[in-house]
Amino acid sequence: MPIVLGVVMQIYLPIAEISIPVEMIFLLGAFVGFVSGVFGVGGGFLTTPLLIFMGIPSAVAVGTQGCQLVASGVSGVTSYWRRGHVDFMVGTIMLVGGIGGSLVGIVFFQFIKYMGQMDLIISLLYIVLLGSIGIMMLFESIFTMFRKKSVKSEFNRLKAPSLISKLPYKMRFPRSKLYISALVPVGIGFVSGFLVSTMGVGGGFLLVPAMIYILGMPPLLVAGTSLFQIVFTSIFATIMHATVSNSVDILLAIFLILGGVIGAQFGVVVSKKITGARARIILALLVLGVCTQLGLQLFFHPSDLFVMVIQ
Amino acid sequence: MKLLRVLIVLSVVAVLPCTASAKTGDLVIGVANNHIDVTVGFSGSSIEVFGDRRDKETDVAIIMEGPRKNVTIWQKDRLIGTWVNRYYTKFKAMPTYYNYAISVQGFSSSLLEAMRENGIGHEALLYKTKTDKSRKLKDEKVFQDALLRKNEELGVFFQQPATIKFMNDNFFRVRFYLPPSAPTGEYKIHSFLIKDGKIVGKTIELLTVEQVGLNAFIYKAAHEYSFIYALVCIFLALFFGWLAGAIRVRP
């Protein structure tokens, strides 16, 4: 890949402690930025597996990804904020869960590292998450495209299940016009926090449907509010990764972010050409592609049966 | 050209500290540069070891080894349809870099024994290593082979030993290659003087491979002031994120 540009500049990453062509990181960042620009997703689900594939230790890949999530989250949330599409109250309550989930995730991360099953667990988590989300998104978007139904009418028909309305600690959220147990947003935030600290993904494509279907939030406020929550959860996860396992590589983060900033510009331009259900079908196929790739590694006879871990 | 080389060797040997000389006083070695700087642009380096043997009837062996760490080799096996890390062998205090060179042509059994005792060569290296393995594991050889192969793939072990180049009867030079993936830390260069299939003298030289400049700064900050480091990372991420939002192409 670097040969295409004519320059091969090796960079020694101080925390990952490996030397890697700088263009490779930059192009990875740009590609993910492009994808996130086109589809309006964080793209962490692509970055973490690709970084690990490039030889970055998985702990550093996940830890650094948290930092990149802060950057992509902030760039998104500012534009929603300007338009007033952020429910700070719901976001803050979700953040409480997010920090809890993040803490549990860090402990879990250290545990699987100790057990020597890091690769397996991270792959399995990715397969389950990407597989289920990809399939749901694919069916939903094909369904929408053929029925020509507007997405909004779909949402309005779905009311919060009765079990959720029975939960205690009810709170009023005036901005979203909700009267619901605080445990629900805390729970959703918890899942997000866990994903940020164990997999380096913001989990936007899990949060957004959860906030619409389970919380019953107005769709207009969902994207901004989930990003608001993800920014703060990622800040917390970055601090934890940096202090507990020293696994945040600032140089890696800077090149990923810079690549992402530039890639996202192109992505936004392209996003005007593909919209709605069609964009969601492409995204679903991309998600399922990454999932299949990881699945193949796990379920097919590996080319190398041995793994070396240096303590 | 040849004269120049000899001059370089002479000058290097001349400035060697006396601690580097062998017990017998018959072997002197020196490293051209015993501080390797790992900068942001680090893409590997060569380590030149120069030496002088008094007696041309003797032979020499040189080992360069990186900092020792515990290494686990996992073997994957099928479990409920998936391939998981199932069996392990832990190798205690394995060098994270290993290369050697030996000038001997024919190996007598007594010399092989001496090499084994002194950890010269891969076989000797494994022979001396303590292991800890998972239950019901019979064949340790498979794990030893995997360990060597994995390290070779990383570029820190070598299938072929380095060569000792004699520039005349006494002066010699060995070049060890240090790949970009080489771990940082204290390296040891062991040298052995061999006579009649026996090791008659040993010396140790130290070599430091260390991150310097920006890299060293970042590494130190991340490990010693990790909270402030985290805040700087976040601040940068916030700044770039804000910038990206501000310059975004508006529809």
Does residue B224 share a domain with residue B163?
no
Cβ neighbours of B38 in A, within 8 Å:
12
Number of residues that make up chain A: 311
CB within 8 Å of B135: residues ≥ 6 apart: none
A73-100 confidence digits (pLDDT tens): 888 888 888 888 888 988 999 999 999 9
Chain A nearest C-alpha distance from B106 (Å): 34
Q: Is A248 on the interface with B (CB under 8 A)?
A: yes
Which of A110, A309, A114, A120 has its CA nearest to residue B90? A309
Does residue B163 share a domain with residue B200?
yes
pLDDT at A38 over 60: yes
> Percent of chain A, pLDDT > 70?
91
Highest mean pLDDT among A18-32, A132-146, B4-18: A18-32
| Mean pLDDT confidence for A34-47 | 80
Say what the pLDDT of residue A306 is.
Answer: 86
The angle at the Cα of B213, spanning B212 to B218, to the nearest 5 degrees, equals 90
Question: Number of residue pairs across A and B with CB atoms under 8 Å?
Answer: 185
Cβ neighbours of B151 in A, within 8 Å:
308
Residue burial B20-37, b: 16+ Cβ < 10 Å; e: rest:
bbbeeebbbbbbeeeebe
| Cβ burial, residue A153 (10 Å; 0-12/13-18/19+) | exposed
How many CB atoms are located within 10 Å of the residue A146 CB? 9
pLDDT at B175 over 60: yes
**Average predicted confidence (pLDDT) for chain B:** 83
Q: Is A257 on the interface with B (CB under 8 A)?
A: yes
pLDDT at A1 over 50: no
pLDDT at B18 over 70: no
| Cβ burial, residue A1 (10 Å; 0-12/13-18/19+) | exposed
Whichever domain contains B183, its CATH number is 2.60.40.1930
Nearest by CB to A78, from B40, B150, B242: name it.
B242
Radius of gyration of chain B (CA): 23
Query: Side-chain half-sphere of A261: how many Cα atoms within 13 Å?
Result: 20
Give φ, ψ of A53 to 5 degrees: -65, -30
Chain B nearest C-alpha distance from A260 (Å): 9
Tokens 């959220």 correspond to A173
If you measure CA to CA, which chain B residue comes closest to A310? Answer: B71
Does residue B67 share a domain with residue B79?
yes
Cβ neighbours of B177 in A, within 8 Å:
none
How many CB atoms are located within 10 Å of the residue A162 CB? 7
pLDDT at B176 over 50: yes
Distances (CA, A) of A262 to A79, A125, A141, B238, B246: 17, 30, 29, 16, 13
pLDDT at A148 over 80: no
Does residue B127 share a domain with residue B65?
yes
- Measured distance CA(A219)–CA(A156) in Å, rounded: 10
* CB of A29 closer than 8 Å to CB of A50: no
Residue burial A105-144, b: 16+ Cβ < 10 Å; e: rest:
bbeebeebbeebebbbbbbbbbbebbbebbeebbebbeeb
Within 156-215 of B, beta carbons closer than 8 Å to A belong to 180-181, 183-184, 211, 214-215
Does residue B8 share a domain with residue B103?
yes
Distances (CA, A) of A185 to A234, B30, B41, B244: 17, 66, 47, 29
B62-119 confidence digits (pLDDT tens): 999 999 999 989 888 888 878 888 888 889 889 999 999 998 887 888 888 888 888 8
Question: In terms of pLDDT, which residue wins out, A181 or A275?
Answer: A181
Does residue B191 share a domain with residue B220?
no
How would residue B5 be classed by pLDDT, with cut points 50, 70 and 90? low
Does residue B144 share a domain with residue B47?
yes
| Mean pLDDT confidence for B129-133 | 81
Does residue B33 share a domain with residue B51?
yes
Question: In terms of pLDDT, which residue wins out, B19 or A112?
Answer: A112
Q: Is B27 helix (H, G, I), strand (E, B) or coil?
A: strand
Nearest by CB to B226, from A10, A117, A242: name it.
A242
Does residue B136 share a domain with residue B30?
yes
Does residue B230 share a domain with residue B206?
no
Q: Is B25 on the interface with A (CB under 8 A)?
A: no
pLDDT at B214 over 60: yes
Q: Is B84 on the interface with A (CB under 8 A)?
A: yes
Q: Is A43 helix (H, G, I), strand (E, B) or coil?
A: coil
Least confident of A88-92, B1-5, B24-28: B1-5
Say what the pLDDT of residue B136 is.
Answer: 67
Q: How many domains does chain B have?
A: 2
Question: In terms of pLDDT, which residue wins out, A161 or A240?
Answer: A240
> Percent of chain B, pLDDT > 70?
87
User: A17–B96: do the CB atoms touch at under 8 Å?
Assistant: no
| DSSP, res B15 | T
Say what the pLDDT of residue A237 is.
Answer: 93
Within 94-133 of A, beta carbons closer than 8 Å to B belong to 116-117, 119-120, 124
Say what the pLDDT of residue A300 is.
Answer: 80
Say what the pLDDT of residue A2 is.
Answer: 39
Highest mean pLDDT among A203-207, B21-25, B138-142, B176-180: B176-180
Cβ neighbours of B215 in A, within 8 Å:
12, 14
Which of B23, B16, B51, B86 has its CA nearest to residue B175? B51
Max alpha carbon distance in chain A (Å)? 63
**Average predicted confidence (pLDDT) for chain A:** 82
Does residue B218 share a domain with residue B159?
no
Chain A nearest C-alpha distance from B47 (Å): 18
Does residue B161 share a domain with residue B227?
no
Say what the pLDDT of residue B19 is.
Answer: 39
CB within 8 Å of A160: residues ≥ 6 apart: A180, A214, A215, A216
How would residue A186 be classed by pLDDT, with cut points 50, 70 and 90? very high
| Mean pLDDT confidence for B167-183 | 89
Question: In terms of pLDDT, which residue wins out, A164 or A63?
Answer: A63
Chain A nearest C-alpha distance from B193 (Å): 32
User: A74–B211: do the CB atoms touch at under 8 Å?
Assistant: no
Q: Provide the Cα torsion A192, A197, A202, A203; round to 10°.
A: -50
* CB of A34 closer than 8 Å to CB of A173: no
pLDDT at B9 over 90: no
Say what the pLDDT of residue A190 is.
Answer: 94
Say what the pLDDT of residue A275 is.
Answer: 67
Range of the domain at B166: 2-211
Q: Is A301 on the interface with B (CB under 8 A)?
A: yes
Q: Which amino acid would we find at residue B90?
A: K
Nearest by CB to B233, from A75, A250, A300: name it.
A250
User: B88–A116: do the CB atoms touch at under 8 Å?
Assistant: yes
Query: Side-chain half-sphere of A121: how many Cα atoms within 13 Å?
Result: 17
Encoded tokens for B113: 């024994």
Q: Provide the Cα torsion B100, B68, A302, A114; round to 10°.
A: 180
pLDDT at A56 over 70: yes
How would residue B20 be classed by pLDDT, with cut points 50, 70 and 90? very low
Say what the pLDDT of residue A157 is.
Answer: 43
A247-271 confidence digits (pLDDT tens): 899 999 999 999 988 888 888 788 7
Cβ neighbours of B229 in A, within 8 Å:
242, 248, 250
User: B240–A235: do the CB atoms touch at under 8 Å?
Assistant: no
How would residue B6 be classed by pLDDT, with cut points 50, 70 and 90? low
If you measure CA to CA, which chain A residue comes closest to B232? Answer: A250
pLDDT at B4 over 60: no
User: A301–B83: do the CB atoms touch at under 8 Å?
Assistant: yes
